[in-house]
Structure 1
């Protein structure tokens, strides 16, 4: 299973060296990778449908309880089949859609990496592993959305998408750490068995909010939805793969996966119903005000995601069944419509639906695919969309939470989605062919075959829903913790209230399609409210934050290092001083301290003299010498307290520092302005107070009883665990190796910066500007 996940990443690396072979006719070979993975995961259908759960665990960081744990059950199997199956069709479609593109190999690399990240995400059974793959999907999608990097709009959309989903990733990490603190494990399977412990924990609400934050940002729920329409600047294969079938459903997957862990509580269900309900209706209404095909599909996708969140919130067996079926329904018809839109854009060079009609006369197979997808989107029999719509209405009618309001909201949403599906899938192909498109040609087989296959599956599954009933749907419902034994999918459930709601939806939706035509007037009417949209409000907040940041920077970061240090020291003095003054138990036992010796007094006086000489001298070299005296005095103190190794280290560093200072100061110009007497007095007072504070804290620490447990641990384990006889070195290199690595990294980054400044060669114009 790990090999299957890594295949996408390995293929991306492979393309770095062999990418030129995938730019021409051989580009179709890239689709073998997702096809092979689809075949691999398909072999698990019979085992999973019989109730088996396949687990694989590989050690990663066992000391922190983090492993590469993967779990294949009904829920993850459904998503893996969508990721690889639709991925195969998208790869094949891309070979024709982007034929001849100079960066086609790079595009395939991004797609393959994204596929691997999504597979890792839906298969992960460890929350840290899940977080890693979650972030990898955000990073790889950033490159895919911004693939047309010469377009400023594409770059901006990619940054917004990365920013929103990246924040969600931080929420997920925080949620993982909090849940681990509650139950002592990162394993999602183990958390399911401890659900009652989690829900009774006082931090339950915080954990739920963090998971919600991750899911809502990834799955574009209101008010975080606006990144998705902006991401439509990406090429059509990206919109198809990421924004209809896979990535945007990652948040839905997260909610479904954690339903057995965190669900069943009023806060969980109510929040999901409200957020999902607002999202589905708000976005569905937006579709009637759009004229760009991708814009229509983007908002209808957000609405569909809202429906899924809404169904998860209902939390009943009927709702879980409806969600499982609707995931399949939406993946089939929405991927089809995106691929069809890509063909239209590729052949006619426009996505403006007001300029499109009659294309059925030129590209009949594409038109058939679009019409079939529109029928499934509308929930018209005999499509699987009809089955999914009736299940959704059935779940809504059995809700115990404001049934009438819920039914009205879901019916209105479905009406608008029917309208959107007809506009995107039927309108471009019916009616009279405009003169401007009379020379449009039929696309290649690899472009029209994938959408036609997906659209056909939508009808096949509707006519014979038993194909997916036991294989895909029941295992998903069982994975959500509900009973699936009595589930039987059928196209006809009898003449009942649900069927009447379906007839109303179809009738009103079709009437709306013929009455309300997409127009620029409608789009401009919606633009009037743009100033109060979530995106605009966030933009205003960002601008305000930038203004505040600029003021803050100008006030504190004014270019003088001594001011930076003074502010930091003043803050510490106020903070620590306040704590000490407010702590009545703070005291120093002077009797426990050792007596002051003549050597210490003499060394301290020399040290103080060096400090005063350094502060008041007007010579840089003399100041360096004074600092050297201070450093050597500290070396002597280390020797007095039986730390010769520290003394030698201090001596070496101090000597090297003095030499480096001399070399650097030799190249610097003369002082432009020395600090005045008042500034030195002010800095001296602040330094004195800070030094007194540190001395007080040091004396208090020294007067405390010595606890040697940690020291004994290091002494007893230094040789046994790290095979080192020098305990200090072992602590730095092994026990605290991560700290040392970070410190080395900081020094390396600083060295690179210094090297870059040393090698900087400004042009004459730039040098003159800097001097001015």
Structure 2
């Protein structure tokens, strides 16, 4: 199983040296990876349908609780099959759709990376591992959404998507870490055993808030939904894969997976019902005003995601079964409609629904696929959508109190709007009279029309024969959500009842709306009049204020003057040290013991004072460097006086090297520019004197403490034995604290490269200005 997850990462890396070979007729071979993985996961259906759970454990970073722990049950199997199955069709579809594109190899690399990350999300049992894959989906989707990187709108959309989902991911990380800390394990299955403790903990509400933030941003719930329509700037295969079946359902998957851990309380139920309900109605209403096919599908997708969150919020066995069915229903018809939209755009050059008609005459197989997908979206009997819609109504009708009336009415209105949007996307482009400008359109490659037709036919097959999927896939998925067996056979006919009446009402009103209302630009203009009230506009304004604040903050605290940075660092360090010093108890003003100074020590101290005075008063850089070196060599002498020759030699070597580097770098710079006035000088003297006084007091406190030589004794005893070095200081730097030294070397190397680049920089006259 580990290889199945990592295969996508391995293949995406292999595209770097070998991707150019798949840009031509061999592009379709890229689909071998998802097809193989799909076959692999299909082999687990018999075991999972029998109630078995497949686990895999491989230690990774056990000290941090991060291991490759994978868990395959009904829920993860359902998502794995969607990820690899629809992924296989998208890989095949993209070969002719992007034929000749210069970045086709890059496209397949990003897509393979994304597929692997999604598999990691749905299979991970360790929440820290899940979060790593979660962030990889955000990063890979950033590259996919911004695939047309020469388009400013695509770049902006990818940044917005990354910003929203990345921000939610940051909050999710905090929630997952908190869950693991409180439960004592980062394993989801282990957390299920401690769910009552988590639900009764005082931090339970905070955990829910953090988890909801991650799920809502990823699955485009109100008010974070606005990134999804913008992401439609991506090529259609990406939209079909990410925004119908996989990425946007990651948040839904997270809620479903954590339901046994966190679900079943009012704090869980009501927020999900409210947010899901608002999202599904708001987005379904918006979808009927769109005239761009991708816009229609984007808003109807957001509405479908709201329905799923809504159902998980209800939390009954019926609602969770309805959610598992609707996940599959939506993936089949929405992916089909997205792929159909791609073909229409590819052949006609437009996605404007007001300009499309009669395409059945030139794209007949796609017209069949569009009709079947639209009927499944509408919930016509003998389609899979009909079963899914009935289960939604069953779930809302079997809630407590007055909730059934409100929730059912909300679901009916939403489904009426979604029915209209589905017919608009799947039926409208193919009906009516074919315009003259589309007479020469021809049916594209088989790989472009066969995938949407196959998905649409599956929607009909599962609707006519629901037993194909219920016991083998959908009931185990619902059982995994609620953590107890669910055995509810899916049926085409439940007799004459209220659910059937509601289904008929939905069909009748949705069809009436489709026949009476024609899409137009005026309708879109009307709804866009309210954009100033939209969450996107509000958050954009908030972003503007944050950016304005950041600019002012940067200009104030990060103005590019090194002396200002140094001043603020010293002031902060002084305040921090002073607080810790005066809050620590008694303060000693004299050291616990004094030793008489020799004439040599007094001479060295006088030299140090003179060198310091020369350093702060000289206007010559070279003089300052020499005076600074005198300070360093004076410290070397003090080390020698106090029987530390190893430290003295190390200091001497470093000081000499530093002086040479300073002379080489600084001799080409102009003389000092004196910007400081008298007030600034006085301020600097006060800051320096205060910092020196605090350090002096800290030194006195150290001298008044009992000395523990365990560490120094360890270094002295083991320097030669363990590291074969007689210079203890060097052994500490190179061996015992080698990682610290390595990073210091890296920092110095980067600084040296930067300085060298500046010295070699030659600007034009216009650039200097």
- The answer to whether TM tops 0.5 is yes
- Separation in 1, partners of 2:205, 2:726: 49
In structure 1, the residue matched to 2:41 is 41
Deviation of 1:711 after TM superposition, in Å, equals: 7.1
* Equivalent runs, 1:47-446 vs 2, <5 Å: 47-400=47-400, 402-446=403-447
Aligned equivalents of 2:711, 2:399: Cα separation in 1: 58
2:657 is aligned with 1:656: yes
Separation of aligned partners in 2, 1:335 and 1:407: 27
1:73-126 alpha-carbon deviations (Å, 9 max, x no partner)? 111111111111001100111112112222222211111111111111211112
Mark the CA change 1:406 to 1:710 in structure 2 (over 3 Å): closer, same or farther.
farther
1:458 aligns with 2:462: no
Seen in structure 2, the aligned counterparts of structure 1 residues 722 and 639 have a Cα distance that, compared at 3 Å, is closer
For residues 642-665 of structure 1, the C-alpha deviation after alignment (integer angstroms, 9 at most, x for no partner) is 544433332222111111112222
Kindly provide the CA deviation profile for residues 456-504 of structure 1, in whole angstroms up to 9, marking residues without a partner as x: 1111111111111111112112212343343111111222222222122
Query: Which secondary structure does the structure 1 equivalent of 2:244 belong to?
Result: helix
Q: Do the aligned residues in 2 keep the contact of 1:357 with 1:431 (CA within 8 Å)?
A: yes
Q: Partner of 2:750 in structure 1? A: 749
> Quick check: 1:220–1:226 contact (8 Å CA) kept in 2?
yes
1:495-531, CA deviations, whole angstroms, 9 ceiling, x for partnerless residues?
A: 2222222122111111111122111001011111112
**1:494 corresponds to 2:490:** no
Question: Is the CA contact 1:396–1:407 (under 8 Å) kept in the aligned structure 2?
Answer: yes
Give the Cα–Cα distance (whole angstroms) in 2 for the partners of residues 175 and 726 of structure 1: 48
The more displaced of 192-201 and 445-454 is 192-201
Give me the whole-angstrom Cα distance separating, in 2, the residues matched to 1:464 and 1:715: 79
- Cα pair 1:589 1:703 within 8 Å, conserved: no
* Partners of 1:297 and 1:719 in 2: CA distance: 71
Distance 1:273 1:152 in 2: 37
Question: How far, CA to CA, are the matches of 1:389 and 1:596 in structure 2?
Answer: 93
Q: Which moved more, 1:649-658 or 1:108-117?
A: 649-658
Tell me how far apart the structure 2 counterparts of residues 500 and 143 of structure 1 sit (CA, whole Å): 46
Task: Mark the runs of 5 or more structure 1 residues left unpaired by the alignment.
Answer: none
After superposition, the C-alpha distances for 1:269-306 in whole angstroms (9 at most, x for unaligned) are 22211111111111111101110000010011111111
CA distance in 2, matches of 1:269, 1:254: 15
The answer to whether the aligner puts 1:14 opposite 2:14 as a matched pair is yes
In structure 2, what is the Cα distance between the partners aligned to 1:683 and 1:587?
A: 26
Shift of 1:720: 10
Aligned to 2:567: 566
In 2, distance between residues paired with 1:198 and 1:727? 51
Confirm or deny: 8 A CA contact 1:580 1:586 kept in the other structure: no
Contact 1:312 1:320 in 2 (8 A): yes
Question: Structure 1 residue 628: deviation in Å?
Answer: 1.4
CA distance in 1, matches of 2:99, 2:591: 85
> How far off its partner does 1:745 sit?
4.1
Q: Within the alignment, does 1:531 sit opposite 2:522 as a pair?
A: no
Cα 1:473–1:729 shift into 2, 3 Å: farther
- 1:419-471 residue CA offsets vs partner (Å, 9 max, x unmatched): 11010011111122122222221222111110111011111111111111111
Q: Which residue of 1 aligns with 2:477?
A: 476
Q: 2-side partners of 1:179 and 1:75: how far apart?
A: 21
Give the whole-Å Cα distance in 1 for the aligned partners of 2:42 and 2:9.
21
Give secondary structure in 1 for the equivalent of 2:71: strand
Deviation at 1:589, TM superposition (A): 8.1
- Secondary structure (helix, strand or coil) at the match of 2:441 reads coil
- Aligned partner of 1:552 in structure 2 is 553
Q: CA deviation at 1:147?
A: 1.1
Deviates more, 1:296-305 or 1:586-595: 586-595
The worse-fitting range, judged by mean Cα deviation, of 632-641 and 142-151 is 632-641
Distance 1:42 1:486, change over 3 A: closer
Deviation at 1:709, TM superposition (A): 7.5
State the Cα distance separating 1:600 from its structure 2 match: 5.8
Query: SS state of the match for residue 68, structure 1?
Result: strand
Q: 1:327 Cα deviation (Å)?
A: 0.5
CA drift at 1:591: 6.3
In structure 1, the residue corresponding to 2:223 is in which secondary structure? coil
SS of 1:11's partner is helix
Q: 1:133 to 1:407 in 2, by over 3 A?
A: same
Deviation, structure 1 residue 740 = 5.0
How far off its partner does 1:705 sit?
4.7
Shift of 1:692: 1.3
Residue 552 of structure 1, CA deviation: 2.1
With normalisation by structure 2, the TM-score equals 0.94
Distance 1:495 1:182, change over 3 A: same
Q: Distance in 2 between matches of 1:288 and 1:358?
A: 21
User: Displacement of 1:542 after TM fit?
Assistant: 1.9
Change (3 A) 1:344 1:632: same
Deviations 1:363-415 (CA, angstroms, capped at 9, x unpaired): 11101111111111111111111111111111112223733222222211111
Residues 384, 699 of structure 1: alpha-carbon distance in 2 compared, 3 angstrom cutoff: farther
Output aligned runs, 1:757-772, within 5 Å: 757-767=758-768, 769=769
**Change in CA separation of 1:354 and 1:571 when aligned onto 2, cut-off 3 Å:** same
Asked if structure 1 preserves the Cα contact closer than 8 Å seen for 2:154 and 2:231, the reply is: yes
Q: What is the rounded CA distance, in whole Å, between the counterparts of 1:313 and 1:695 in structure 2?
A: 62
Q: Does 1:634 align with 2:626?
A: no
Relative to 1, partners in 2 of residues 1:729 and 1:270: Cα closer, same or farther, differing over 3 Å? farther
Question: Which consecutive residues of structure 2, in runs of 5 or more, have no partner in the other structure?
Answer: none
| Offset of residue 689 of structure 1 | 0.5
More displaced 10-residue stretch of structure 1: 415-424 or 129-138: 129-138
**What secondary structure is seen at the aligned counterpart in 1 of 2:487?**
coil
> What residue in structure 1 maps to residue 670 of structure 2?
669
The number of equivalent residue pairs is 767
Q: Secondary structure of the residue that 1:392 maps to in structure 2? A: helix
Classify 1:737/1:261 alpha carbon distance in 2 versus 1 (closer, same or farther; 3 Å): farther
* Residues 472/638 of structure 1: CA separation in 2 closer, same or farther (3 Å cut): farther
Post-superposition offset of 1:717:
9.5
Query: In 2 relative to 1, CA 53–293 (structure 1 residues): closer, same or farther, beyond 3 Å?
Result: same
Distance 2:67 2:507 in 1: 50
Worse-matched range after superposition: 245-254 or 730-739 = 730-739
- Number of the residue aligned with 1:25: 25
Which residue of structure 1 aligns with residue 692 of structure 2?
Answer: 691
- 1:191 and 1:563 mapped to 2: Cα distance? 50
Deviates more, 1:109-118 or 1:587-596: 587-596
Give me the whole-angstrom Cα distance separating, in 2, the residues matched to 1:327 and 1:727: 65
Greater mean deviation of Cα atoms: 609-618 or 312-321: 609-618
Measured against aligned partners, the alpha-carbon deviations of 1:313-339 in whole angstroms (never above 9, x if no partner) come to 111111111111110001001000000
Does structure 2 conserve the Cα–Cα contact (< 8 Å) formed by 1:317 and 1:483?
Answer: no
Query: Is the CA contact 2:28–2:91 (under 8 Å) kept in the aligned structure 1?
Result: yes
